[in-house]
Structure 1
Amino acid sequence: MVKFSYEFKLNVVLEYLQGYGSTYLCKKYNIVNPSTVLLWINMYKAYGLKGLIVRNYGKVYSGEYKIKVLNWMHTQQKSYPETALHFNISASSTIFTWQRRMETKGIRSLYNKRGRPKMQKTELKVTSCQKNLANEYMIKYVYTKIQMKHPKSSKFEVVHKLINQLKSLSKSYILQVIQYSRSVYYYNLKKAKLSYDNSYIENKIKNIIIKHAAYGYRRITAVLRQSGLKINHKRVQNIMKRNNWQCKLFSRRKRKYNSYKGQVGRIANNILNGDFTANKFGQKITTDVSEFRYGNEDINHRVYLSPVMDLYSDKILSFNISRHPNVSFTLKALNEAMLNLKSLPYRTIVHSDQGFQYQHHSWVNTLKKYNAIQSMSRKGTCLDNAQMESFFHIMKSEMMNVHYNTKESLIHAMKVWIKDYNNNRIKEKLGYQSPNKYLGLIS
């Protein structure tokens, strides 16, 4: 570092006061930095001729003095040069070095002695008073720094950022130093956390609805719980109600197909008698036929679905889609399902309504071929086959809320939906699992 004599400084200052600029003087006297000239001027104005006396650049400052200087700079909100001028310190960079050392290495770094260490090292002891003074300065400094960086933030947000930044200090101590009520802080913290949680949950619910538009609050609650989130169904319901996300697909009435044409064959007894529970896979199965429309939705723009459902897992074992709801159409789905169940050590009960397809001798003979037991609903009593009726209602509500222009597009949508039903669509009856997951077919 270049040292300038007292006489040299005085000549520069006098010329400056006569009207010469700092840039001109730097060129004339070969001074590198114009701020050096300004520092001499300020020192002269503040301390007179004493301010121009050549100081000892190797002066060693105590830790207490360093903390005092830094604390004054913070409380008075002065710059490094202004602070150096006030305390008659040779270079403002010295104060800057103290500041950075304090931030990165802590209070002990301000008490380190300069020069070569002695042979016998003595442990540096810092009193509690000195430590508290340093901590208070650090808290106030960082607090002011955050305020300047985030001028639009609320006081709580600034305090919260301060606490997160100074994790080595206790919250209570920080709040005490900046004079912020502890109860107010925790009240706002709880409020902010609840707001954050609601925003997080709303995003999760929104993503579930995008993927499963037909899910109500119960099944959405189940999906959230399966993801590890502990949440009450009433809270989910309130969030969905507030955002108008409630499922309204099931409120519309759907067309019902009726295959009953009187007694045209054998009428079997109602063995199930409304009991749709099963203890084993394939113990009870049910079937029915329903109509789906596309295009102009007239007689020439209809297809029919005949699914076979297992009442143990609610899985669709097989299905057939055709333009004509004849006997062979229903037998194809039945044969496919029974082939998968023929190895079971017990007889299967096959339940249906009294549609003409199920009274036909071909249907009855097929059941005898597989040693199955036939069961039929009572005439005009849809509740006797409520499980199948419920399936059709769900399917039409979830996939027929759009119009299909062609038969191919409708059949493709039906197949995709049934596959998704078996693999992904969760049900409360199955412990909020899909049929295939309930059977252990998928993980």
Structure 2
Amino acid sequence: MAKKHYSENEIKQLKQNPNIVDVKKNQITYLPEFKVRAVKDNLEGKAPTLIFLENGFDLDILGKDIPRKRLYTWREIYDKSGELGLLTNYRGRKESSKNSKELSIEEQLKKAEAKIKFLEMENGIFKKARRDGKDGDEKETKLTPGERYQLIHETIQRNNLKRVCTYLCELAGVCRSGYYAWLDAKELRDSREKEDELYTELISYIFHQKNQKTGVLQIKMIMENDYCICMNHKKIRRLMRKYNLVTKVRRANPYKKMIKATQEHRTLPNLLNRQFDQEEPNKVLLTDITYLYYENGQKAYLSCVKDGCTKEIIAHYLSTNLEMSIVYKTLEHLALNSGIIQPNTILHSDQGVHYTNPEFQKKAKELKLTQSMSRKGNCWDNAPMESFFGHFKDEVEYKHCKNFNELKQVVDSYIDEYNNRRYQWGLKKMTPVQYRNHLLAA
């Protein structure tokens, strides 16, 4: 039950009673002699309410439960300390409690020493956090409750301090009960730490097997499909952050505009408007060309066709030059895949010189492909194709290839792995080939 709060008018009326020393909004200090007299009357059998009424208290103002509560407290003090306890105790606190706050010189020195040791260790933690942080990061470093408990424990253990636990808890801004609960949970923390280490070994193995270029969602899918371990992606992210497993990601490069087409080259309208996935395999095909540098700065060019629905690379061709033959060969490989090209299949590309070429457009029509083009200089209009090239350059060590044949083997191997063994979050955690078979079976 909440304490009763007295109004200014009620406080004035209560102060008129000679048995009251002082009145505040939620506190009354009674005359010690009245407390002794009330306890003796109560011991003789008189009811608390009657005692207060006989001594001039208005129970409507004071509170009807107050007499019973006050007599209960006063009798406890009387049983322990007698009349002297009531005469020298105004709020149930012992007379010596005031004096107990006055510390001896030895105790003051002990607290000062504990404070110095604690602040030294705390400062050491903040310095380490600044060294580990990024340059120019001015974000304030804050300790979690667990880190504060650890700091208190290490301060006490390393410096062999005694009877300073309460003081250090106040200094750290945590409660003493929380600190002792933290100490009691040591076995549980140790078991969780061992479990984290075991899971991290597997995560680290997958992470380094993919040349440190595998993200959280990829690791989650690999663990589920290849190791039958179902783990929340947030826990994987926490463990990777805890053990400093940072995925290497590519930096965004400015989109390079293709060479302006000659007047005889004709651009075509954008039929997709970024609706790449139309929930039907082979309905939307995306194509583009990227460059690959390998040994001694040699350059090769990779042309690919990707299914917008299943994300599968249907056709690809690697060339040492950017002549028109690179896109013609890609179309030939596409035509060899029976059942891919259908009457309503759309072939989407950017406005590159290869795709605006009349000869290419003629060949596309012969294959009954409907051409669509991105807006000028807008890479987002062909985002899935750009995304594939980005993943390829992140995950494949093609720069170490010594010759063109070796590069071709690396490209063919990766595309085979991408289609058949690389799980994708957006494909219901399936590979592109599995997802295509799933859609066709449905």
Coarse TM-score class (shorter-chain normalised): 0.5 to 0.7
Aligned equivalent of 1:429: 426
Give the equivalent residue in structure 1 for 2:219.
220
**Residue 233 in structure 1 maps to residue 233 in structure 2:** yes
- Separation of aligned partners in 1, 2:435 and 2:365: 30
1:203 partner amino acid: E
Contact 1:287 1:309 survives alignment (8 Å): yes
Q: CA deviation at 1:242?
A: 2.1
Q: How far is 1:256 from its partner?
A: 6.4
How far off is 1:350 after superposition? 0.2
Matched, 1:340 2:337: yes
Q: Is the 8 Å Cα contact of residues 285 and 350 (structure 1) preserved in structure 2? A: yes
Give runs of aligned pairs for residues 403-418 of structure 1, distance below 5 A: 403-418=400-415
Indicate how the Cα distance of structure 1 residues 316 and 188 shifts in structure 2: closer, same or farther if over 3 A, else same. same
Q: Deviations over 1:353-400 (max 9, x none)?
A: 111111112211122112221101111111111111111111112224
Partner of 2:281: 281
Cα shift readout 1:192-239 (whole Å, capped 9, x = no counterpart): 432232122111102211332321112212323343333222221121
Looking at structure 2, the residues matched to 306 and 184 of structure 1 have their Cα atoms a distance apart, in angstroms, of 59
Give the total of aligned pairs: 255
Is 2:377 the partner of 1:380? yes
What secondary structure is seen at the aligned counterpart in 2 of 1:426?
A: coil
Write the distance in 2 (CA, Å) between the matches of 1:281 and 1:208. Answer: 31
SS at match of 1:220: helix
1:27 matched residue in structure 2? none
Q: Which residue of 2 aligns with 1:208?
A: 206
In the alignment, which residue of structure 2 is the partner of 1:145? none
- Tell whether the 8 Å contact from 1:404 to 1:410 is kept in structure 2 after alignment: yes
Inter-partner Cα distance in structure 1 for 2:397 and 2:260: 27
Q: Which residue of 2 aligns with 1:179?
A: none
Partner Cα separation in structure 2 for residue 412 and residue 256 of structure 1:
28
CA distance in 2, matches of 1:362, 1:322: 19
Q: Which amino acid aligns with 2:261?
A: G
User: Which residue in 2 is equivalent to 1:72?
Assistant: none
What stretches of structure 2 of length at least 5 have no aligned partner? 1-180
Cα gap change, 1:239/1:343 in structure 2, threshold over 3 Å: closer, same or farther? closer
Query: Which of 1 and 2 has greater Rg?
Result: 1
Secondary structure of the equivalent of 1:197?
Answer: helix
- TM-score using structure 1 length: 0.53
Offset from partner CA, 1:45-104 (integer Å, 9 cap, x none): xxxxxxxxxxxxxxxxxxxxxxxxxxxxxxxxxxxxxxxxxxxxxxxxxxxxxxxxxxxx
Corresponding residue number in structure 1 for 2:196: 198
Task: Name the amino acid aligned to 1:232.
Answer: N
- The offset of 1:288, in angstroms, is 0.5
Is 1:396 the equivalent of 2:393? yes
1:86-105 alignment runs, 5 A limit: none
The 5 Å alignment of 1:317-356 reads: 317-340=314-337, 342=339, 346-356=343-353
Contact residue 398 and residue 410 of structure 2 kept, 8 A: no
Structure 1 CA distance, aligned partners of 2:377 and 2:253? 18
Matches within 5 A, 1:16-35: none
**Equivalent pair of 2:282/2:340 in contact (CA under 8 Å):** no
Distance 2:357 2:182 in 1: 78
Percent identical pairs in the alignment equals 27
Q: Within 5 A, what are the aligned runs for 1:159-178? A: none
Q: Secondary structure at the match of 2:405?
A: helix
The one of 310, 321, 330 aligned to 1:313: 310
Quote the residue 1:119 is aligned against: none
Give the direction of change, closer, same or farther, for the CA distance of 1:255–1:291 in structure 2 (3 Å limit): farther
SS at match of 2:407: helix
Change in Cα spacing, 1:345 to 1:417, as seen in structure 2 (3 Å) is closer
Q: Distance in 2 between matches of 1:339 and 1:409?
A: 24
Distance, in Å, in 1 between the alignment partners of 2:379 and 2:204 is 36
Letter in 2 for 1:219: Q
Aligned to 1:304: 301
CA distance in 2, matches of 1:224, 1:343: 32
- 1:156-175, CA deviations, whole angstroms, 9 ceiling, x for partnerless residues? xxxxxxxxxxxxxxxxxxxx
Matched residues in 1 for 2:292 and 2:430: separation? 27
Instruction: Name 1:82's counterpart in structure 2.
Output: none
Report if the CA contact (8 A) 1:257-1:291 is conserved.
no
Distance in 2 (alpha carbons) for counterparts of 1:324 and 1:381 = 24
- State the shift of 1:189 in Å: 5.3
Contact conserved, 2:294 with 2:398, CA < 8 A, in 1? no
What value does the CA root-mean-square deviation take over the aligned residues?
A: 2.7
The Cα of 1:306 is off from its aligned counterpart by: 0.3
* 1-structure distance, mates of 2:401, 2:249: 17
For the structure 1 residues 236 and 311, does the alpha-carbon distance in structure 2 shift closer, same or farther, using more than 3 Å as the test?
Answer: same
Answer yes or no: is the 8 Å Cα contact 1:260–1:354 preserved in 2.
no
